[in-house]
Amino acid sequence: MARRGAALAADPWVRRTTEPGSMIDAFLEHATGLEARALEILRRPETYPGLPALQRSDVVLRLTRFEGLGRYLVWVVAARANVYLVRRVIWDRPTDHRPGAIAPTTFGSDADAPAELLERHLAALRSIALPPFIPCDTVGIDGVNFGVEYGNYMRSAGLYWGSSVPEDWRLLGDWFSGCVETLEAVLPAHVGEHGKHGA
């Protein structure tokens, strides 16, 4: 495998959409200053500074995990000939709560993963049957927020939840955890903007 360097409350709130990036768009509606700049970076991991640009049309999977007052993470999987490229972008939000922070502290990393490794997860995702339209709370809570987006501009879907996964989506929540574990196993230590290495 080639490697390149370049976190709950009780009641869930649930969003769903067919437009990629909508969870981040929702956060952007209320963000200002440094937070808005960080979310814009997370919204476009395909063009993360210091890493090769990806074609958005090649991205088949996008996962998000925003850890309340902790880190915000986005993983994307892009299809290649015989491999998949995996990219992770992190906003170190706790670091940016320090006085005097003027730019978001972000890190990114890439890794090639064998097609068969990712195909197992994609096939498992496609096999999940669940009711997409379930009751959702209208008030957000400051917990962990998750998102799964699959497909491309021709056909795509996204499901999002906050805090604990809705019972009807339990299989999706379990799939999310397993897929992230696989992606993290192939990814190297990250590299920050302008080639700075992160811990």
Q: Which residue has the higher pLDDT, 74 or 99?
A: 74
Q: Tell me, what's the pLDDT at 191?
A: 60
d(CA 140, CA 112): 36
107-129 burial: b if 16+ Cβ within 10 Å, else e = bbbbbbbeeebbeebbeebeeee
CB–CB of 193/9 below 8 Å? no
CB–CB of 136/45 below 8 Å? no
Q: Tell me, what's the pLDDT at 67?
A: 94
pLDDT averaged over the chain?
A: 83
Q: In the predicted model, is pLDDT for residue 98 greater than 70?
A: yes
d(CA 64, CA 3): 21
Instruction: State which residues form the domain around 19.
Output: 3-195
What's the pTM value of the predicted model, to 2 decimals? 0.83
Q: What's the structural domain count of the chain?
A: 1
Q: In the predicted model, is pLDDT for residue 100 greater than 50?
A: yes
pLDDT tens track for 28-78:
988 889 999 999 999 999 999 999 999 988 999 999 999 988 999 999 999
d(CA 51, CA 78): 14
> Alpha helix (H) ranges present in the chain?
22-28, 33-43, 115-127, 170-186
Q: Tell me, what's the pLDDT at 68?
A: 87
pLDDT tens track for 76-92:
999 987 889 999 999 99
pLDDT tens track for 125-157:
999 999 999 887 656 566 899 999 998 777 788
- The two tokens of residue 105 are 């502290």
d(CA 45, CA 48): 5
In the chain, the DSSP E strands lie at 3-5, 14-17, 59-67, 72-79, 83-91, 106-114, 144-151, 156-162, 191-192
